[in-house]
Structure 1
Amino acid sequence: MSFYQFAKGVVASVFFPLYRIEIHGKEHFPKDGAVLLCSNHIDNLDPPTVGICAPRQVHFMAKEELFRVPVLGGIVRKVGSFPVKRGMSDREAIRKGLNVLKDGGVLGLFPEGTRSKDGKLGKGLAGAGFFALKSDASIVPCAIIGTYKPFQKVRVYFGPPIDFAPLREKKTSADEATELIMSKIAELLEKHQS
């Protein structure tokens, strides 16, 4: 058993009963090949939640500060996540992200770049669009709905992969590509928030 599977099992055994997590749309998640998984960001618990709900290992691009926290930093690195410097172009993080996709892995991103203060979907950063355009990955939108209050439901929805072929052909800008991704996350939120 890999460390990732072990950690996923431990986190799942706590999160599923505590937050009554429900997973929807797992059938939309490609069984193989590169996947860019893009989700809204409402809480610090989003990465482990998405990680235990996704059917494949997710390599998260996570804020650099996390890797400096004793013990946690080591665990985050061991489960395949890697640091990104916020507010600047981080070439090393970009290279690592592209390599995950080139190797047919799953790259997890929160395009807003930071947690939403009010729970509403914020503007996405160009990074998500950049990865979508620079790879042949399937782009899977994800919506997390809930409050992470103990014993109140948190629901995770995976949407159908977004058809990126037209955008890649017409050399769309990264900002436009991110807008499309965010619109699909917004659709999932609107459809299931009631």
Structure 2
Amino acid sequence: MSLYPFARSVVAGLIKPTYRIKVEGLEHFPKEGAVLLCTNHISNLDPPVVGVTSPRKVLFMAKAELFDVPVLKNLLKNFGTFPVKRGGGDREALRAGLKVLKEGNVLGLFPEGTRSKDGQLGKGLPGAGFFALRSNAAVVPCAIKGPYKSFQSLKVVYGKPLEMEKYRQEKISPEEMTAIIMNEIDKLLKD
């Protein structure tokens, strides 16, 4: 038996009632094929929250420092999470992310690269734009609307996939594409 479904049900049983999670927009989430899922980042709990609310298994890119903790390293690898060295172009992480998408899976990214200190949406890094432009994945924006407070409502909103063909044809830069993705996340946060 795979560890992912078991862990997902355990985590869902703990997180969903504690944070009274409400989910919107699941009808927008592609049922099959590659998906680049781009989400704002307000808490360490964001990956498990997205993991238990997404209709499909999400493979995350996570900061390399997390893989320095022996027990956590094994757990992350069992969930299909792979490391990224922050602060520069990590070619190995970029290849791993493209492989996830090429295999038709869901790649989960937090384009800001780090948690927001004030809950406000920060500037996205070009990696999200790189994956969006270099793959044939559907790009799905997602907003986590906090705060993470016990027994208060937390909302996860999945937006409609972006119309990527026009951006790919226009040959825009990864930075420009990331800005478009971040704008879509911002719209979901403000709705």
State if a TM-score over 0.5 links the two structures. Answer: yes
Give the alignment of 1:145-184 within 5 angstroms.
Answer: 145-184=145-184
Q: How many angstroms does 1:136 deviate by?
A: 0.5
Q: Deviations over 1:146-184 (max 9, x none)?
A: 121111111100000000111101111000000110000
Report the counterpart of residue 121 of structure 1 in structure 2.
121
Measure, in 1, the Cα distance between the counterparts of 2:77 and 2:26: 26
Equivalent residue number for residue 30 of structure 2: 30
Q: Which residue of 2 aligns with 1:140?
A: 140
Whole-Å separation in 2 of the counterparts to 1:55 and 1:111: 21
Moved more, 48-57 or 69-78: 69-78
Q: Which residue of 2 aligns with 1:56?
A: 56
Aligned counterparts of 2:164 and 2:181: Cα–Cα separation in 1: 10
Counterpart-to-counterpart distance in 2, 1:131 and 1:147: 29
The one-letter code sitting in structure 2 at the alignment partner of 1:172 is I
How far apart are the structure 1 equivalents of 2:58 and 2:8?
11
Map Cα deviations across residues 69-114 of structure 1 (whole Å, 9 max, x no partner). Answer: 2322211111111000000111111000000000000000000000
Cα distance in structure 1, aligned partners of 2:179 and 2:85: 22
Runs of 4+ in 1 over 4 A off after TM superposition: none
Root mean square deviation, CA, Å: 0.8
> Cα offset for 1:66?
1.1
SS in 2 for 1:122: coil
1:84 matched to 2:84: yes
In the alignment, what sits opposite 1:40? 40
Q: Hey, what does 2:131 align to over in structure 1? A: 131
Amino acid at match of 1:31: K
- The normalised TM-score by structure 2 is 0.98
TM value normalised by structure 1: 0.97
| Cα distance between partner residues in 1 of 2:42 and 2:152 | 15
State the alpha-carbon separation in 2 of the partners of residues 42 and 33 from structure 1.
Answer: 28
Aligned identity (percent) is 61
